[in-house]
């Protein structure tokens, strides 16, 4: 494999990001053109633009590994010509080959451009969550939570760039990603789709991803799922959140604001409800906050069937038709219906009756057409076949491997059990040891990501990569345990006796959305019991966790010699984990979420003083947010602040020296935390306000500098407005602290 410093590699790679100019007319010209188009459209044509259906609705047959998906041409024509649908999404259960995507998109645009009266191109949308996961053979990155474990903006940007290139190569200009919801409820089965629990980390990584994606030109990202969906009280998917306006603005809204500033032009709506108001019925959040206050001029798209659910599930609408009225008047611009034309029919009726004003329809259509212009669809709606050469290139695979490597978090390394030594006899065991699906999770080839037989076999499982690096004759394997059914451990115990070390791979099977609901964060008993048996052999056990959320593993963590958490590291994850285990890569991942120790210990790192008081459970996680070990040791010294006192509007510079005290080169994430010592609302004990990942050779020292601005010191006050208050602050970096005062 080519050895090129990843920093240099990424610099070259990302510098090409701006090369493709967005096919765009000057803004006022585009707006004029849109006005002209709207003036020629019938009501039905307008409402059609607001309608999005799934590919399943216009298909004859699902595609499988053995038989090809089949489109129903008559239904497709009916959808585009009779109902004027503005958008189609998804696959019929299974990813397509690249060429088939070209065929499909060409067929769709042929009908739109040749058979429909207004000749408005259709915008195809897809969930390219960790790469173009619905195109066979795509580069599939670590899922967002694993990517966040890299704490590396360049890698977030690289994943945005490559995902976009590969979606565009498939002929698709619109990606339902990134998820900018904060991962502050660890039970939630979509935690792994987030960039973790922290406002600043998630915003920074999302920003890098979005900017790199848009730099490819003619492409739209979609911020999901506006807003508060990620914080269900009971941890189950699509269940209520209670988030006051102040807390919403403090925690959940800022990553979306960052995404909008980075140029995101579409926003998907929270499928659930906040404070008793379904996302799709929330006029305040959709219209007053998003469109008016934050000046969002792109369009909002509903989530799957969620307008219908205002009637069938939420009962805020007395009829399916009233559900359409409520949603459109709240600010929903496009409905992911997605199976039929009910939205179209009801909305046409509602406008004719005068219940929904034509001005609201015109506003929604203007927003949708704006994005169709921005994505270059009016210039060329067809797939650019030349992009095939940019699909799944060796360079992309290389960057993906680097991302997976940096996503691995070393949590425990007793007596330096890791790196594994050459010549050791290794037993690899556990339910996640020899599967590719467990490295990838949901949104991989299929929605649930659990069709192991469809995974491209050229990628390595953990077992295969360990066998390659150690030599097959040094490695024995037994699955040992299922995910959740107690049973016989096969020959695992016998094989353990003949081994020097056990690599025990535990975790979760793939899942996505509601099917991933759990009521207990504890790792299933079957795996705990199996781990106990392995530990009881007396052989050193190195545990590898592959999982979408931090399942509780207290006893295992205490008894294991080594513990590696990889969340969902993607298609190169097996290789990456093995390289870390053998020391070919020095681990540099850090937790982007708190790893809880106890079922009721779901306190987050930026907790309030009241949570750490004597009588409270406090912050006693198994491993804290930001934690991760290395095979080398870093020392911090010389913390300096530019002044002990600053005025409002003045920046503060903080610098610190970091030295590699060990014997191998390594990367350290330098983390800056800020504490506002007194505030008119309770302030978190500390908040991340800066981070830099630096690479240091043995003995090398680097100085890292951060700038603290007003914005970093601000918070949402009692009146729900962002304010900055004068007073004393504390800066903490690498165990050192310094204080300063902000004067009026």
Active site residues: 303
Which of the residues 289 through 328 are near ligand BGC (CB under 6 A)?
A: 303-304
Give the separation between CA 324 and CA 345, rounded to whole angstroms. Answer: 10
Question: Which distant-in-sequence residues (6+ apart) come within 8 Å of 237 by Cβ?
Answer: 188, 189, 190, 513, 514, 516, 517
How many whole angstroms separate alpha carbon 244 and alpha carbon 247?
5
Compute the least distance from the CB of residue 277 to ligand BGC, in Å. 18
Nearer to ligand BGC, 480 or 516 (CB): 516
Nearer to ligand BGC, 279 or 684 (CB): 279
CB atoms within 10 A of CB 607: 16
**What are the backbone angles phi and psi of residue 342, rounded to the nearest 5°?**
-60, -40
β-sheet bridge partners, residue 179: 224
Burial state string for 265-295 with b = 16 or more CB within 10 A and e = fewer than 16? bbbbbbbbbbeebbbbbbeebbbebbbeeee
How far apart, in whole angstroms, are the C-alpha atoms of residue 311 and residue 315?
A: 5
Select from 176, 373, 530, 691 the one that contacts ligand BGC (CB under 6 A).
Answer: 176
Closest distance to ligand BGC from the beta carbon of 152 (Å): 25
In the complex with ligand BGC, the residue whose CB is nearer, 262 or 268, is 268
String marking each residue 501-520 x if it binds ligand BGC according to CB under 6 A? ------------x-------
Can you point out the beta strands (E) in 524-616? 541-546, 562-567
Cβ-in-10-Å burial (0-12, 13-18, 19+) of 426 comes to buried
User: Residue for token digits 């506006």?
Assistant: 226
CB of residue 222 vs ligand BGC: minimum separation in angstroms?
A: 7
Residue 370 C-beta: closest distance to ligand BGC, Å: 21
**CA 312 distance to own-chain centroid:** 29
Neighbour-count burial for 366-385, b at 16+ CB within 10 Å, e otherwise: bbbbbbbbbbbbbeebebee
The site string for ligand BGC over 520-559 (x = CB under 6 A, - otherwise) reads ----------------------------------------
Tokens read off for 366: 């203007």
* Burial (0-12, 13-18, 19+ Cβ within 10 Å), 619: middle
| Least distance to ligand BGC, CB of residue 1, Å | 35
d(CA 654, CA 647): 16
Identify which of 194, 97, 93 has the alpha carbon closest to the alpha carbon of residue 138: 97
Nearer to ligand BGC, 202 or 669 (CB): 202
Nearer to ligand BGC, 127 or 676 (CB): 127
Crossing angle (nearest 10°) for helices 153-169 and 6-15:
50
Phi, psi (rounded to 5 degrees) for 338:
-110, 0
Identity of the residue, 127 or 405, whose beta carbon is nearer to ligand BGC in the bound complex: 127
Asked if 619 touches ligand BGC (CB under 6 A), the answer is: no
- Residues in contact with ligand BGC, shown as a per-residue x/- string from 38 to 77 under the rule CB under 6 A: ----------------------------------------
Give me the sign of the Cα torsion angle 284, 285, 288, 291: negative
The span from the CA of 369 to the CA of 31, in Å, is 9
CA dist., res. 647 & res. 708, Å (int): 12
Binding mask 128-167 for ligand BGC (x = CB under 6 A): ----------------------------------------
Give ∠ CA 437-441-447 in degrees, rounded to 5.
100
In the bound complex, what is the minimum distance in angstroms from residue 693's beta carbon to ligand BGC?
29
Omega of the bond prior to 225 within 30 degrees of 0, cis?
yes
CB of 90 to ligand BGC, least distance (A): 5
224 counts as binding ligand BGC under rule CB under 6 A: yes
Least spacing, CB of residue 176 vs ligand BGC, in Å = 4
Helix (H, G, I), strand (E, B) or coil at 275: coil
Output 134 or 200, the one with its CB closest to ligand BGC. 134
Helix residue ranges, H only, 85-190: 98-114, 144-148, 153-169
* Distance separating alpha carbons of residues 657 and 637, to the nearest angstrom: 5
Q: Which of residues 264-283 bind ligand BGC (CB under 6 A)?
A: 268, 271
When the beta carbons of 269 and 410 are compared against ligand BGC, the nearer one is: 269
By beta-carbon proximity to ligand BGC, the closer residue of 322 and 513 is 513
Integer angstrom CA distances of residue 174 from 46, 89, 163, 328, 516: 20, 9, 11, 22, 26
127 scored as a contact of ligand BGC (CB under 6 A) = yes
Residues 84-103 that bind ligand BGC (CB under 6 A): 89-90
- Which residue number, 196 or 666, has a Cβ lying nearer to ligand BGC? 196
CB of 39 to ligand BGC, least distance (A): 32
Residues 660-719, interacting with ligand BGC (CB under 6 A): none
Bridge-based pairing of strands 687-696 and 666-676 is: antiparallel
Q: How many residues bind ligand BGC (CB under 6 A)?
A: 10
Q: Which of residues 374-403 bind ligand BGC (CB under 6 A)?
A: none
CB of 341 to ligand BGC, least distance (A): 18
Min CB(144)–ligand BGC separation in Å:
12
Q: Judged by CB, which is closer to ligand BGC: 224, or 579?
A: 224
Decide whether 515 or 726 has the Cβ nearer to ligand BGC: 515
CB of 467 to ligand BGC, least distance (A): 37
* Residue 446 found at the interface with ligand BGC (CB under 6 A): no
Quick one: 80 or 179, whose CB is closer to ligand BGC? Answer: 179
- Radius of gyration of the chain measured on its C-alpha atoms: 26
- Span 640-659, contacts to ligand BGC by CB under 6 A: none
Q: First CA to last CA across the chain, in angstroms?
A: 57
Q: Is 730 exposed, middle or buried, given 0-12, 13-18 or 19+ CB atoms closer than 10 A?
A: middle
What is the C-alpha separation between 467 and 475, in angstroms, rounded?
Answer: 6
Q: Which of residues 569-608 bind ligand BGC (CB under 6 A)?
A: none
Least separation in angstroms between CB 344 and ligand BGC: 19
Residues at the interface with ligand BGC (CB under 6 A): 89-90, 127, 176, 224, 268, 271, 303-304, 513
């Amino acid at each position: 494999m080519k050895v090129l410093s990843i920093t240099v590699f990424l610099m070259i790679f990302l510098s090409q990001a701006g090369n493709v100019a967005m096919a765009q007319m000057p803004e006022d010209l585009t707006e004029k053109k849109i006005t002209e188009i709207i003036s020629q459209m019938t009501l039905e044509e307008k409402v059609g633009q607001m309608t999005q259906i799934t590919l399943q609705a216009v298909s004859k047959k699902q595609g499988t590994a053995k038989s090809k998906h089949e489109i129903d041409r008559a239904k497709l024509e009916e959808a585009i010509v009779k109902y004027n649908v503005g958008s189609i999404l998804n696959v019929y259960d299974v990813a397509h080959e690249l060429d088939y995507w070209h065929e499909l998109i060409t067929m769709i645009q042929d009908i739109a451009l040749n058979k429909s009266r207004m000749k408005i191109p259709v915008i195809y949308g897809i969930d390219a969550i960790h790469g173009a996961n619905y195109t066979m053979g795509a580069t599939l990155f670590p899922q967002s939570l694993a990517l966040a474990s890299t704490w590396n903006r360049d890698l977030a940007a690289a994943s945005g760039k490559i995902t976009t290139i590969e979606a565009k190569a498939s002929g698709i200009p619109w990606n339902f990603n990134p998820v900018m919801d904060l991962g502050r409820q660890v039970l939630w089965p979509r935690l792994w789709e987030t960039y973790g629990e922290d406002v600043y980390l998630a915003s920074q990584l999302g920003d890098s991803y979005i900017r790199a994606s848009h730099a490819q030109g003619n492409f739209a990202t979609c911020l999901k799922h506006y807003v508060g969906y990620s914080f269900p009280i009971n941890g189950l998917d699509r269940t209520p959140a209670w988030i006051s306006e102040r807390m919403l603005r403090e925690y959940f809204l800022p990553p979306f604001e960052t995404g909008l500033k980075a140029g995101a032009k579409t926003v998907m709506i929270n499928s659930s409800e906040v404070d008793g108001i379904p996302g799709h019925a929330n006029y305040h959040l959709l219209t007053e906050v998003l469109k008016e206050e934050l000046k969002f001029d792109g369009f909002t798209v509903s989530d799957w069937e969620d307008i219908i659910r205002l009637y069938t599930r939420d009962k805020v609408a007395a009829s399916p038709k009233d559900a359409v009225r409520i949603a459109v008047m709240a600010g929903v611009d496009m409905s992911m219906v997605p199976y039929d034309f009910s939205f179209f029919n009801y909305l046409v009726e509602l406008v004719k009756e005068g219940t929904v004003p034509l001005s609201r329809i015109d506003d929604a259509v203007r927003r949708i057409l704006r994005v169709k212009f921005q994505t270059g669809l009016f210039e060329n709606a067809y797939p650019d076949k030349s992009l095939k050469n940019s699909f799944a290139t060796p360079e992309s695979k290389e960057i993906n491997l680097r991302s997976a490597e940096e996503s691995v978090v070393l949590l425990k390394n007793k007596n330096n059990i890791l790196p594994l030594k050459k010549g050791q006899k290794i037993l690899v065991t556990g339910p996640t040891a020899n599967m590719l699906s467990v490295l990838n999770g949901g949104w991989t080839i299929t929605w649930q990501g659990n069709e192991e037989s469809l995974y491209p076999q050229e990628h390595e499982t953990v077992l295969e990569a360990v066998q390659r690096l150690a030599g097959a004759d040094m490695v024995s394997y037994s699955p040992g345990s299922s995910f959740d059914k107690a049973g016989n451990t096969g020959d695992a115990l016998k094989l353990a006796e003949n081994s020097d070390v056990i690599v025990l791979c535990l975790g979760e099977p793939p899942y996505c959305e509601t099917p991933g609901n759990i009521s207990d964060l504890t790792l299933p008993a079957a795996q705990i019991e199996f781990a106990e048996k392995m530990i009881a052999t007396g052989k050193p056990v190195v545990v590898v966790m592959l999982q979408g959320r931090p399942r509780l593993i207290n006893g295992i963590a205490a008894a294991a010699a080594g513990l590696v958490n990889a969340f969902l590291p993607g298609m190169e994850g097996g290789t990456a984990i093995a390289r870390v285990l053998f020391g070919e890569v020095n681990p540099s991942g850090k937790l982007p979420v708190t790893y809880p120790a106890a079922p009721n210990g779901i306190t987050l790192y930026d907790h309030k003083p009241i949570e750490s008081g004597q009588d409270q459970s406090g912050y006693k996680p198994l491993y804290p947010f930001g934690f991760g070990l290395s095979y080398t040791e870093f020392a911090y010294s010389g913390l300096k602040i530019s002044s002990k006192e600053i005025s409002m509007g003045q920046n503060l510079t903080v610098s610190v020296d970091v030295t590699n005290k060990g014997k191998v080169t390594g990367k350290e994430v330098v983390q800056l935390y800020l504490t506002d010592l007194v505030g008119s609302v309770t302030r978190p004990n500390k908040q991340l306000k800066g981070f830099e990942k630096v690479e240091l050779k043995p003995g090398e020292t680097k100085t890292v500098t951060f700038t603290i601005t007003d914005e970093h010191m601000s918070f949402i006050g009692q009146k729900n407005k962002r304010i900055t208050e004068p007073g004393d602050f504390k800066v903490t970096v690498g165990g050192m602290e310094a204080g300063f005062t902000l004067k009026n």
